Amino acid sequence: MIDHDTYPELERGTVAPDEMNLRPQNNFVNILVLRELQSHAVFTTNGQDADLASVAVGEGDERDEYSPGLMFMRKQTGSDRRFAKALQRDLGLFDEDEDDCTMQVNEMCQDCPECILYGSAAGDDAISITSRVMYDTAYTLRDATVVIDEKFQNAPGGDYAKTAEATIREPDFFEPGTLFPSVVTLRDATPAELAFVLGITRKNKRYGATTSRIGRTKNHILGVYAGSEEGPANLELTRDVIQRLQRDSAVEYDSLHDVTSAENLDPKRVANHVQESFDESISADNLDLNRISKNTVSELIEIATGDEFAEVLAEQREYSRQFLPDPE
């Protein structure tokens, strides 16, 4: 089983399942991830344009600005939640005579580990559950001009549409190879719930508006940090990694602009910088966070991505069910 006896390292940052309760405490686990697009992907709120920001990087003479493409938190949670609910079904969590849990707002079961962990709005007199998994908008390391491709295509059909408007603009596509440093933070989660999220992060490979061919993403899990507070946010991390890349003598970028406008970035090199940046901001800011050993993380991922996780989830469900007070 996955608990404090088997993994004493997790005593800080997670709660025992019988200590789950509705009052927030300060137990945090930060999962440090580098999301790498392996195909084109669409992240948009209006159905067409990529969401952009304007971000300043560096200081003094070095200071520069760029426009990163954004992956809003909703794009990350929506996809992970769908994946998590599908995983529960695949592992046979629900009995034959039970309804499966759904993604429909107000119709979630509030009776499965996913609903209790990721939260759910509730219909009528039921109680809304706040999510204990926190995502943060993620930023590309490079400028929109190099990571986003605007595609145009001619409108189908002939005679009716021979005017200038006949060109249909497809949604903006993020290019394969685009990287998003991202932190997923769990608050007051149990060790089994942490394993659940690690398994989802490892196995979920589709984000954004998806068809079978786009939105393929590889989530590199770079580290897991547990303690009584949150680590740096995605924006801070992204800015710092750009500066680290510029100082990296092995790649010779003359300016921050050279980094943000690079044709491509090596994911391995970027992963190292993301991890170092996170580690160093923990010591620089004296944060109460400890890195969980690689062994423990790999074991948790191995269990959470295997069939035996069905048992862990079923046991967690017993505790998750007691999380909500009984309806009057």
Which positions lie near Zn ion, rule CB under 5 A?
101, 108-109, 112, 115
Three-state DSSP at 263 gives coil
| 305 CB neighbour count, 10 Å cutoff | 15
Indicate the residue among 72 and 323 with the shorter CB distance to Zn ion: 323
How far apart (Å, rounded) are the C-alpha atoms in residues 277 and 244?
8
Indicate the residue among 115 and 287 with the shorter CB distance to Zn ion: 115
How far apart (Å, rounded) are the C-alpha atoms in residues 50 and 320?
38
Q: What DSSP string describes 107-132? A: ---S-SHHHHHH-B---TTSPPB--S
Q: Residue 250 CB, nearest distance to Zn ion (Å)?
A: 48
Indicate the residue among 109 and 235 with the shorter CB distance to Zn ion: 109
Q: Residue 79 CB, nearest distance to Zn ion (Å)?
A: 17
**Residue of this chain nearest to Zn ion (CB atom):** 101
How far apart (Å, rounded) are the C-alpha atoms in residues 243 and 260?
10
Q: What stretches of 78-227 adopt beta strand conformation (E)? A: 133-134, 138-143, 148-149, 152-154, 167-169, 173-174, 179-187, 217-227
Q: What DSSP string describes 140-153? A: EEEEHHHHEE--EE
Q: Residue 158 CB, nearest distance to Zn ion (Å)?
A: 50
Indicate the residue among 37 and 189 with the shorter CB distance to Zn ion: 189
Q: Residue 118 CB, nearest distance to Zn ion (Å)?
A: 9
Indicate the residue among 40 and 85 with the shorter CB distance to Zn ion: 85
Q: Residue 45 CB, nearest distance to Zn ion (Å)?
A: 26
How far apart (Å, rounded) are the C-alpha atoms in residues 311 and 317?
10
Indicate the residue among 109 and 324 with the shorter CB distance to Zn ion: 109
How far apart (Å, rounded) are the C-alpha atoms in residues 179 and 160?
42
- Is the four-CA dihedral 65, 244, 186, 83 of positive or negative sign? positive
| 115 CB neighbour count, 10 Å cutoff | 24
Q: Residue 201 CB, nearest distance to Zn ion (Å)?
A: 19
Question: Which residue type sits at 25?
Answer: Q
Q: Residue 115 CB, nearest distance to Zn ion (Å)?
A: 3
Indicate the residue among 101 and 214 with the shorter CB distance to Zn ion: 101
